[in-house]
Structure 1
Amino acid sequence: MAALTKQSVQPGPSTDLQEGSGCYSCQEKWIGYQCNCYFISDDLKTWKDSWDFCVSHNSSLLQIQTRNELDFMKFSTSFYWIGISYGEEHDAWLWENKSTLSQDLFPFPKPVNPKNCMMYSPRGSILDGHCGKKFRYICKQQLI
C-alpha cells in the first residue's frame, strides 16, 4: 500500500485531497473527495468478492453518509455493490459497521428479498440483486 502524503488543494474529486484539513492523498487509482477515498471499479465481481477486494485495500464497500456524497458520479448510469446487507438478528438492513440504514437517505425498493445484496446508482436509487451476480462496486476509505 502506498504511503499517505499531504497534497495541495484541488477542486472537485481527484487523487489529491485538501492540505490542512487532516486529509491525505489516496492510493493510486482511487478518487479523493471530502476526506474520503473511493475506488470505483470497472471490473465485475460478486458481492462477496467485492467485499474481499475492499477489505484487502484497507477499506470497505461503500457506506453512504449523505445524499450528495457521490455527486462527482451523478452522471453514472451503472449500479454498484455497496456495503449493506440484511441482518436477520436485527430484522433490518444494516451497513457493514452494523448501523441501520436511514430511510430518508434514498428510496428503498419494495419488496426486497432479504437474501439479496444491495446495489446503488449514484443517481440516487438503490436496488437489490442476487449476491452471486457480478456487478461493479465501490470501496470507501475514510481518512479522518
Structure 2
Amino acid sequence: MRGTTVSSPGLLLLLLAPRQADSEPQLPRASSSRQLADCRAGSASGSQQLFPAPGERFRRHPVGTAVLILLLLVLVLALGAAVAVLAGKGGAAAWAVLGCPRDWIGYNGVCYYFSRDFSTWEQGQERCSELGASLAIAKDEEAMDLLSRLCGNFGYWLGLRRRGERLHWGDGSSYSSRVPVLDNSECVYLADERFKSGNCSSERPYVCSKAQAPL
C-alpha cells in the first residue's frame, strides 16, 4: 500500500504545528515560577518584620518588657486588695498579699489575721503573740473601716481594753477615736460594724495584726 501524499500547504502546517510547539523551550513559564517564589519570600520577610515572634520582641526590648510585667503584677495585687475590702462583708476571707504570711490580709503596711477558733481576750492575745503579732490595733478610721467590713456580723476581739476609766490599745496608747465604744465593759470586740465591750472571759474569734514585712 502506498503512502498518502499531502499536497495542501495549509494541512501541512497544521500537522507540523504541535511538534514545533513541543520543541520550543518554556522560558516564560520558568521565569513566572521564579517571580512567584521571590514574591512569596518577600511577603514572608515583610510579615516577620511587621509581626515579630514574642521571643524576638523580648530580645529587642528586654527592659520595656520587664517593666510591663512588673506593672501588671502591681495592678493584679491592687485589684486583689480592693476585692478583699469590697467583698469582705461575708466574713474574714483571706487574700494573699506580698509581705504578709499565708491566710493573712495586707492593707496599708499592716497584716491582719482573722482567727477561726474562739478564745477569751487574754488567750487571743497569747495566740497572736505566738504568731509574732498582737490583738489588732486600729487607730485610724481607714483601718477601722477595713476591719468592720471584714468582720461582718461576727464579734472579733480587738487589742483594745479598758484600764480604769479610759480605753487603751495593746501598745499602751490611749483610745482617741471619735467612734464610740458601746457599753462599759472591760474588753472590746468588733461586731455589726460597731465597737462593743464585753466580759473578757467570753470566748470569741479574734483579730491579730502586725507590721507588713519589707519587700
Provide the TM-score with structure 1 as the length reference: 0.75
8 A contact 2:148–2:190 mirrored in 1:
no
Task: Report the secondary structure of 1:136's partner residue.
Answer: coil
Partner of 1:128: 197
Structure with higher RCO (Cα < 8 A, 6+ apart)? 1
- 2-side partners of 1:63 and 1:73: how far apart? 13
8 A contact 1:47–1:131 mirrored in 2:
yes
- 1-side partners of 2:188 and 2:181: how far apart? 10
Partner of 1:119: 189
- 2-side partners of 1:102 and 1:49: how far apart? 25
Match of 1:42 among 116, 129, 143: 116
2:167 partner letter = W
Q: Does 1:81 align with 2:151?
A: no
Q: Does 1:109 align with 2:177?
A: no
Q: Does 1:16 align with 2:97?
A: yes
Query: Structure 2 stretches of 5 or more lacking a match?
Result: 1-72, 85-94
RMSD, matched Cα: 2.0
8 A contact 1:63–1:140 mirrored in 2:
yes
- 1-side partners of 2:155 and 2:113: how far apart? 14
- 2-side partners of 1:83 and 1:72: how far apart? 12
8 A contact 2:148–2:191 mirrored in 1:
no
1:30 partner letter = W
Distance 1:141 1:122, change over 3 A: farther
| Shift of residue 59, structure 1, vs aligned partner | 0.6
- 2-side partners of 1:102 and 1:138: how far apart? 20
* Structure label with greater radius of gyration: 2
2:195 partner letter = I
1:34 partner letter = N
Q: Deviations over 1:79-131 (max 9, x none)?
A: 1101111223xx41100111110141x12224x03xx21111372x1111111
- 2-side partners of 1:38 and 1:31: how far apart? 5
More strand per residue: 1
- 1-side partners of 2:155 and 2:111: how far apart? 19
Identity of counterpart residues, as a percentage? 23
